[in-house]
Amino acid sequence: MVSRTLFVMPLSIFVCLNILLVAHASDFNQDIDITWGDGRGSILNNGTLINLALDQSSGSGFQSKAEYLHGKFDMQIKLVPGNSAGTVTTFYLKSQGLTWDEIDFEFLGNVSGDPYILHTNVYTQGKGDREQQFYLWFDPTAEFHNYSILWNPSHIVFYVDGKPIREFKNLEAMDVAYPKSQPMRMYGSLWNADDWATRGGLVKTNWSQGPFVASFMNYNSDNACVWSINNGTTTTTPCSPGGSSSSSSSSRRMDSSRQKIIRWVQRKFMVYNYCKDKKRFSQGFPVECTAKNKNKTS
């Protein structure tokens, strides 16, 4: 068992980052379709809340009505409380087809008293294997917290409550595949993965604790480019700052204050990094792990 420890981020980091988190009053009825779960997923409170449920028969999930080609995506999530072993709550972007692209937040449940594990991954052309995992510095079941994905042609950045925790850079110049041309939808789900989710599958889901419920609110895709086909021609809407068409340098690279926060999070809370798994990559690490402009902090 790993006990939760509360780490306090130095005030200077908050000051220099100067992030302002603003709640976004989205309407899930307009933005989202509940796509599976046979009634276990519900849009509530006049479209401001989604509850996803999981029982022994099925989980549930939703997807965005729109497809996007780059942008910034925010979701506030409150995870399954108590004994959530075996469950996985997700918030991610994914394209279609056999050679899909995907950008993942997955929250791996655990027995009561153990911390959740935040699992992140990036797929390109149907290939992932770029996992990084973190403990969180708060209880993600007590209240809603904000999780964000920034995706543009230069890099992908994962954020928790406005703090960057991982960056994956575009290193196509070094023959590293990067997701940049396939439109993606946003997805959320709650499902049973007790074959791998908790301690590698050693701890199974305790169905007497169910039904399990995770809640979602304040979805924000205002800084995203909506992709569509009109008369056979593909188009995207203009992106706001933070999206792919922004000329702002902050949307293209991490400034020193954000790099400092990534290093702090990864030093204190990272529990797995594929770029350091010598057993798995005994024949040599992936190029992005060892390149001069490396993704070791990605």
List of residues 6+ apart from 256 with CB closer than 8 A: none
What pLDDT score was predicted for residue 230?
73
Cβ contacts of residue 30 below 8 Å, gap of 6+? 47, 65
Q: Which of 67, 106, 167, 288 is catalytic?
A: 106
The pTM (predicted TM-score) of the whole model is: 0.87
| Residue 96, both tokens | 């279609």
Active-site annotation holder among 67, 102, 167, 288: 102
Buried b (16+ CB within 10 A) or exposed e, 259-274: ebbbebbbeebbeebb
Backbone angles phi, psi at 42, to 5 degrees: -140, 140
pLDDT band, very low/low/confident/very high, at 295 (cuts 50, 70, 90):
low
pLDDT in tens, 216-244: 999 999 888 888 877 667 777 766 545 44
Residue 12 predicted with pLDDT over 90: no
Strand 32-36 versus strand 270-273 pairing type: unpaired
Q: Which pLDDT score, from 0 to 100, does residue 9 have? A: 41
Per the annotation, the verdict on 102 as an active-site residue is yes
Q: Does residue 141 form part of some domain?
A: yes
Domain of residue 80, residue span: 28-239+253-289
If you average pLDDT over every residue of the chain, what do you get?
86
67 is catalytic: no
The answer to whether 188 touches 50, Cβ cutoff 8 Å, is: yes
- Of the candidate ranges 55-59, 127-131, 192-196, 289-293, the one whose mean pLDDT is the lowest: 289-293
Query: 125 — phi, psi (to 5°)?
Result: 55, 40
Cα-Cα end-to-end distance for the chain? 27
pLDDT number for residue 297: 53
Contact 103, 124 (CB under 8 A): no
Closest by CA position to 265, among listed 162, 178, 113, 169: 162
Amino acid 8: pLDDT = 38
The pLDDT-based confidence of 25 (bands split at 50, 70, 90) is low
Q: Are 151 and 179 in contact (CB under 8 A)?
A: yes
| Residue 284 included in any domain | yes
pLDDT over 50 (residue 194): yes
Give the number of domains in the chain: 1
Residue 137 lies in a domain: yes
CA distance 10 to 23: 24
The CATH number of the domain where 196 resides is what?
2.60.120.200
The structure tokens 């959530």 sit at 84
Q: For 148-172, write each residue's pLDDT tens digit.
A: 999 999 999 999 999 999 999 999 9
Q: Is residue 66 one of the residues assigned to a domain?
A: yes
Among candidates 169, 167, 153, 178, which has minimal Cα distance to 244?
Answer: 153
